[in-house]
Amino acid sequence: MSAPDAETSALLEKALAEGLELIGKARDAPSLEDARVRSLGRKASLARARSSLGRMPEVQRRSLGAIATSVQRRLEEAYRSRKEAFDALNLEKRWQEERIDVTLPGENPPVGGLHPLTKTIWEIVDIFIGMGYRVAEGPEVELASYNFDALNTPYEHPSRSPSDTYYMDGQDENVLLRPHTSPVQIRAMETQEPPVYIVCPGRTYRRDEIDATHMNTFAQIEGLAVDEGVTMADLKGTLGKFARTLFGKDLDVRLRPSFFPFTEPSAEMDVECFVCRGNGCRVCKQEGWIELLGCGMVDPFVLEWVGYDVEKYSGFAFGLGAERAASLAHGVSDLRYFYENDIRFLQTFRGVS
Ligand code: DAH
């Protein structure tokens, strides 16, 4: 063997020994990569030995070339098996880190819910549906004739004044934002013959100063029952059942004489104060009772307006504020809470039906 041969062959042996040692010593993926570059890279002993082969005669080049190739294979093999071991280790580590225990309770994403007012309206509507009523709706922009004339409201009635009601057509005062849901009664009766049993939830508007008990935009629920032989006893029984379903079975209700142009006789229904049970407290302003709704026997004038036979049919009607009902049902002292959209307030009703 000539001197350059011996030198190259020693270089190859050294490349193999050093390379195997470097690869064997690697403790993780980065140090293994470093070992690969140093033993198999362009500047490694192996590469240097290979480049010296080019200057050798054919015979030596072949025999040393074969050795160089086998050194390279062994180093590559050592590298690959190490790499596989690290990859497996890494995979194992990822399995540990990313393991999902499907039996653990999940994180609850925030869930929206129905607005407390909507819930109360649905609850009230449901009670009447349970008694055989159906839902009727009407427009929020209403004709004065349906809102006042058909409901027997005299021209001089204060509710007709633009300081009470929003008119849409200025001085003409024929078109308005309805201040109550009562015109829905007229629209419903116009389209059908008795028997009529309807509840009419809807938005209403009044030119009111906003405070704890008044809103200029609010919601009402109207009710109407017209049939043969309907009496005040039906009114009392129906509304009593309704109030007790909404507020609790053992709460007393009472009817108090009142006045509405479209009912005769007219009454206001009070519920026994659910806080003091009639003794008088702050919530009921020492009255022992809380006013819930207006009602009465439908004035024959109204039935005649829609062309019903007043000899044959009679009816009762009622109307209540949804905000008032909701605040009584949930002990909310200020109606404005329902419209401020403060999530802290609204969240307290999650799950409350
Ligand atoms: N519309 C009345 C109001 O807004 C409430 C009302 C009272 C409706 C008596 C009725 C009723 O149907 O019979 O104050």
Residues 335 and 189 in one domain: yes
Confidence band (pLDDT; 50, 70, 90) for 90? confident
In this structure, the residue with its CA closest to atom 5 of ligand 1 is 319
- Could you tell me the pTM of the whole model? 0.71
Q: In 3D, which of 211, 213, 208, 237 has the Cα closest to residue 225?
A: 237
Residues 91 and 136 in one domain: no
CA of 220 relative to ligand 1 center, distance in Å: 9
pLDDT of residue 174: 97
Any domain includes 109: no
In this structure, the residue with its CA closest to atom 12 of ligand 1 is 318
Residues 14 and 153 in one domain: no
Confidence band (pLDDT; 50, 70, 90) for 92? confident
- Percent of the chain having pLDDT more than 70? 98
Cα(91)–Cα(208) distance, integer angstroms: 70
- Tell me which residue range forms the domain holding 342: 117-349
List phi, psi (to 5°) of 262.
-100, 0
pLDDT of residue 159: 95
Model confidence over 65-87: pLDDT tens digits?
Answer: 889 899 999 999 999 999 998 88
Total Cβ atoms within 10 A of residue 40: 20
Confidence band (pLDDT; 50, 70, 90) for 56? confident
Counting from 1 in the atom list of ligand 1, the atom nearest the Cα of 262 is: 13
**144-147-151 Cα angle (round to 5):** 120
Amino acid occupying residue 301 = F
Strand order in the sheet with 134-135: 134-135, 196-205, 217-228, 313-321, 289-298, 263-272, 253-260
- The answer to whether residue 2 scores a pLDDT higher than 80 is no
Residues 307 and 175 in one domain: yes
Residues 124 and 76 in one domain: no
**Ligand 1 binding pocket includes 204 (Cβ within 6 Å):** no
Greater model confidence, 93 or 3: 93
Counting from 1 in the atom list of ligand 1, the atom nearest the Cα of 294 is: 7
Cα(350)–Cα(9) distance, integer angstroms: 83
